[in-house]
Amino acid sequence: MSTSFVGFTVLNNKNKIVRCEAWDLRKIKNIFSKAEKVKNELTKLQDIDEIYIEQSLQAFRSGFSSANTLSTLSRFNGIISWMCYDLLKIEPKYLSASSARKQCGIKVPRGEKAKEVVLKFLLDNEPDFDIEYTIYENPKPGMFDRADSLIIARAGWIQTNSKS
């Protein structure tokens, strides 16, 4: 989850995509206004049984997010988690991106960017997943967020259905 885009996926009980979107929050400056936009989208949902949210990063990694960014993401993640519980009466479960990728059979080779590997995996293996490109043939903003949300949803589906 980021504060620029929120990727969002709904799967049916057969693990098929019902909705896979990225909500664009880039033009919204205040974290609470961003959360309000997400809340408006969440109120449109029906027939949701489980909610899985990507776990916030817990540690610094060289060349990645600053303390301020990690704090903001964690705060936003908490706000969205609460709204899911408050609006849908479902306690969210959390999955790390790396464990979700592993559950879905995605291996990220050393030196490659996980988001690009995930996107390629989905485009190669998921007929119901497609993306939009810029005029320069790069994925449009939000496409990586959609892909990540699908992987979190699929890993959640696997966890839920492996218990049965």
For 107-161, the pLDDT digits (tens) are: 999 999 999 999 999 999 999 999 999 999 999 999 999 999 999 999 999 999 9
CATH number assigned to the domain comprising residue 20: 3.30.420
CA dist 164 and 24 (Å) reads 36
Q: What's this model's pTM, rounded to 2 decimal places?
A: 0.92
Q: State pLDDT tens for residues 72-105.
A: 889 999 999 999 999 999 999 999 999 999 999 9
CB-based contact 73:25 (threshold 8 Å): no
Residues 1-7, mean pLDDT to the nearest whole number: 85
CA dist 63 and 152 (Å) reads 24
CB-based contact 7:22 (threshold 8 Å): yes
Q: State pLDDT tens for residues 44-70.
A: 998 899 999 999 865 555 555 677 888
Full residue range of the structural domain in which residue 120 is found: 5-162
The total domain count for the chain is 1
